[in-house]
Structure formats: C-alpha cells, structure tokens
Structure 1
Amino acid sequence: MTSLPQPVPPSWKDLGKSSTDLLQKDYQILGNSLEVKTKTPTGVTFKVAGSQPSNSSVVTGDVEAKFVNKKQGLTFTGTWTTANVLKAQAEVENQIANGLKVDLLTTLSPAKGNAKTLVINGAYKQSGIHSRAALDVLKGPTFTADTVFGRDGFLVGAEAAYNVTEGRISRYQLAAGFSAPEYAVTLHALNDLKAFSASYYHRVSKDVEAGAKAIYDPKFNGAVSIEVGTKTYLDSAAFVKAKINNSGVLGLGYTQSLRPGIKASFGVAVDTQKLNEVDPSGAAHKVGLSLVFEA
C-alpha cells in the first residue's frame, strides 16, 4: 500500500500561526495607520504606509516597491523609511533546485554610510519537510537554522542559532503540534527550553473561530499568561474580534470592507481593572484606526 504524498508543513515561524493571527491581527489599538497599495501593468507593486502611535505625535512610514518575475522566479523589494533607512531584498525561488528559495536582505543607513544588516536566507520545501537557514553576517556572525517535519497532521520542529565568532550555540528551541482543517494545537519550548507556550485554534463553524494561548516564562516571576479570543463573520465583508487576557485587558476589533480595494479596521483595548480610573497618559485604554487602499 502506497502512502499518500505529505503536504509541505509550515515553517518554524508559522507554527501556531492560526491562533497567533486570531489573537494578534486586526486589533488596531496602538494608534492610527494608513496603507495604500497599487500595481502597475508591468507587475511592479508599490506600497506607501504610515502610522502614528497613540502616545506620540510623530508619524513614521515607508515607501516600498516590489517587482516579481514569476517566469524567472525572481522577486526584488526595495524600501525607504522615514528614518532614512534603505532596505533591499532579492529572492530567487525554484531556480537552483526545485523547492529551494534563496534571498539576500540588506539594510543601509545613507546618513552614516554603512550597512546596518546583511542577511543571507535559504528555505527548502518538499513533501513533509520545511527547512530554513540564515546567516547574519554583521551580527555575530550568527548562523540560524530550523526544520519542521510533518506527517498526517503531526508536526515536529526545532530551531538553533550558532555564534560563529564565539563558536557556541547561542539559542535552541523545540516545538510539536497537530494541525487539521478545523483545529490546531501547538506546543513550544523556547529560550533554551526555559520558557513554554501552548496555543489552540478551533474553527467552530464557517462564521466563528476561537483560540487561546498560554505562556510560561520564568523572567516574569514564574506567572502564566493566558489569552483567549474569538472571531465572528457578520457577512462576507465584515467581521468582529474579541479577546481577553488574565490581566483583565479586553480587546475588541471590527474590520469592514467598504468597497473592493478599501478596508477599514477599528480597535479598542480596555483595562477592565481600571475602568473607574482617570489615566491622562492613556496607557490603560487604547484605540486606533487603520485604512487600507488597494488598487
């Protein structure tokens, strides 16, 4: 009996992504942001993004241009930020070998005339395996590698970082989980197996999703942080999200597609333990708005 081909598992950074997205995305609570995306007939995508934190009057942003040549498997992305930092990334996929992607990421500071970062990345994807490697040339140098194996929904992964100059492993982490179309469970052992997290995601129905995450880190007095949340689709163009953690912070989010290519998101975070307190700094309660235009 021949076993069925296994799908490509998620990468290390995407283990537990369904619950992370449910609890973190679409909560516009840190201020206001605006994003505009356009695409030329030649395949060049431009994105202009800006944001203003709720506790600051400074507006930060960046301009990004991305060119994709699918025939050659080449992607080039250039970004210029309001901090006068230039970022460039060149990616080549499925050209050297099937399933292999290599990219070079560099960050430059024109004012200082030097490179801030220079990272070489590689990723290899095949049936049942997803491996990545990165060499940070200017920091360490540090070599990082991770691999995730998947079979019949079961996932096992590991990540390690090696400091080339010092000749030692500077970090190692493990993860295991199970992923199905309607639910997923992921366990992480992080920071040299000293901190632990567990996440759960469940698609209750086509209109309702639920999830939870618990984190134990000895750095925070050995306390366990717990957060639960849900997402409900009101219709094909709108959904609401709600979450609360064991510190009593309640988060609410509402996202509405105003028309094709225009999306608005509203968010609020309320510290339920400080409802009767006046907080001039605004640290207890946060609100925000995000607008995205895409043509």
Structure 2
Amino acid sequence: MSLPQPVPPSWKDLGKSSNDLLGKDFPINGVALEVKTATPSNVLFKVGGNRDTKSQYIFGDVEAKFFNKPHGLTFTQTWTTTNILKTQVELDNQIAKGVKLELATALTPNTGSKSALFTTTYKQPGLHTRAFLDIFKGPTFTADTVIGRDGFLLGAEASYNVTEGKISKYSTAIGYSAPEYAVTIHGLANLSTYAASYYHRVSPDVEAGAKAVYDTRASPSGNVALEVGAKVYLDGAAFVKAKINNTGILALGYTQALRPGVRASFGLALDTQRLNDVSSEAAAHKVGASVTFEG
C-alpha cells in the first residue's frame, strides 16, 4: 500500500530550497530596516525601508494585514513611498477544502495606472494547481500545475492572451524532492531558457546548493551561468553563507539573532577579478546590512 502523498509545492516554489540558499541573506545592495508588530486583535503591521547604494534612493512601504482565521479571510493594505496603493484579499478553505481565492490590486494615483490579478488555488495530496486572470493586461489567463508522487515532481505553466487569442508563454519543470536534498530542472520562456538547481542538506549544520542557467537567446556560444553556495550554522543564533558564480563574484553573508525578535544581517560582494580596484567604478564591490525587528 502506497503512503499518503503530501501536497507538492506550487510552481513558483519548485527549486525554492536552492533559490533561498543562493538568494537570501546577502544584503549587498544597501541598508534595509524592517519592523513587524502584531496586535491582540489579529492585525499585523509591517514597516520596511531600504536605501539603495547605487541610486542613493530610499524606498519604503507601510503594510497592515488583518486575519480572520475562523472565516479564512486575510485583508492586506500597503502604501509605498512611490505612492502605490496595494490591496490584497484572500479567502482560504471556505468555498471548498483546498480552495483559496485571492484578489490583488494596485493603484498609482499620480498616473492613474492600475492592475488587478485574480487568483484561484487548489491543493490536494499529490496536486497543486493555480489559475490567474490579469484583468487589465490583455486580459491574460495563466495557469500552472504541479503533480507529485513519491518525491517526484512534474510541473507546467502556460499563459493565454484573451485579446490576441493565442498562448503567449509556456514553461515546464521536473524534479525530485527528499528531506535531505532536492533537484529541479526548468524549461522557461517558451523553452528558450533552461535552469537546473540542486540543494543538499549535508548535515544539520551545513547546507550546499548550486544553480546553472542556459539562455539559448543570450548565450548562442553555449555559455552557462553557474552559481554555487553553502550555508553553515555557527550555533543556534548565527549562520554564515558564501556563494560564487562563474564571473568571479564572491558574496558573503553573516546573520546573527541578537535577541528574540531581533535579527541583523551583513553582506559583502567582491569581484575576485578586480580585487585591487578600489575606485568607485568597481560596481561589483558591494557592502550592505539589514536589521529586522519582530514583536
């Protein structure tokens, strides 16, 4: 008798373990601050700010999120420093078990620009499927599905432009996921770009991963973008990360939990082919930090 199948990850989360390992906790593009607080009435407030080193601009947003768990309702309102008003309404497990409805809108009062995306998600053991309708762009209908059994994953995504009456985008993926490791291969952008990722939890304190991307349009000579990295836990409150790509960019990250609810991260990126270049033109030499408060 086969074991009950878990709900597989969504399409966007295929390869998430390696993407998180290689993409998160490297604050190298500036200084960021995030504060999260929660009230007894199930309202979560989040204030975030980021100063970009290259542009010297400061970006930020204020977010309020209300939860009504008995009715599966989540309401989120966000206002950014670029004067964009975002609203998101989610209804989970109310229409039917495993069904989630979501409406995300954005409005820019200065220009009148607006967007609205309606999403339906259906999750069951062995199946995770989503459908999106971009109301103002196209309109465009996008659907993706991931099926899983015994650790093997198979996914596909396609977009259909209603106005033009044709499929505008399609992608596919295959992978295998286990508690200690995961492998995923993507065929993206109408199968013109191929990506392979690998993640391995070597031990409780060490993680390693790699990702390779080949774009048939941008790399006719056969060049492959390769990135490898590792994460090491120093103790229960701190860890270090390192990664390097085939162009010689080395990135280092250090994260420390200062106290419950307070975390600081520091990042450094170096172009190993231009280590002696300390001029302002050495754009690959970057340093940054982020601090998160959560209460």
Give TM class, smaller chain. over 0.9
Q: CA separation of 1:282/1:62 partners in 2, compared to 1, >3 Å: closer, same or farther?
A: farther
Report sequence identity in percent: 65
Structure-2 residue corresponding to 1:249:
249
Structure-1 residue corresponding to 2:151:
153
Shift of 1:182: 0.1
Query: Runs in 1 of length 4+ with deviation above 4 angstroms?
Result: none
Shift of 1:116: 1.6
Aligned partner of residue 78 in structure 2, secondary structure: strand
Structure-1 separation of matches of 2:279 and 2:23? 24
Structure 2 unaligned residues grouped into runs of 5+:
none
Contact 1:256 1:264 in 2 (8 A): yes
Structure-1 residue corresponding to 2:26:
27
User: Is it true that 1:261 corresponds to 2:257 in the alignment?
Assistant: no
Structure-1 separation of matches of 2:25 and 2:13? 18
Aligned partner of residue 273 in structure 2, secondary structure: helix
Structure-1 residue corresponding to 2:98:
99
Structure-1 separation of matches of 2:108 and 2:141? 23
Shift of 1:276: 1.5
TM-score relative to the length of structure 1: 0.98
Structure-2 separation of matches of 1:281 and 1:76? 45
1:138-197 CA deviation, whole Å, 9 max, x = no partner?
A: 111110000000000000000000001000000000000000000000000111111101
Shift of 1:256: 0.2
2:275 maps to a residue whose letter is L
Contact 1:55 1:282 in 2 (8 A): no
Shift of 1:55: 1.1
Structure-2 residue corresponding to 1:141:
139
Structure-1 separation of matches of 2:238 and 2:292? 14
Farther-moved stretch of structure 1 (54-63 vs 99-108): 54-63
Structure-2 separation of matches of 1:277 and 1:264? 29
Structure-1 residue corresponding to 2:5:
6
Structure-2 separation of matches of 1:207 and 1:220? 38
Instruction: Give the superposed CA RMSD.
Output: 0.9
Contact 2:192 2:217 in 1 (8 A): no
Where in structure 2 are the equivalents of 1:25-174 lying within 5 Å? 25-112=24-111, 114-174=112-172
TM-score relative to the length of structure 2: 0.98
Farther-moved stretch of structure 1 (224-233 vs 49-58): 49-58
User: Is it true that 1:179 corresponds to 2:177 in the alignment?
Assistant: yes
Structure 1 unaligned residues grouped into runs of 5+:
none
Shift of 1:218: 2.0
2:285 maps to a residue whose letter is H
Structure-2 separation of matches of 1:263 and 1:219? 41
- How many residues in Structure 1 have an aligned counterpart in Structure 2? 293
Shift of 1:202: 0.2
Shift of 1:110: 2.1
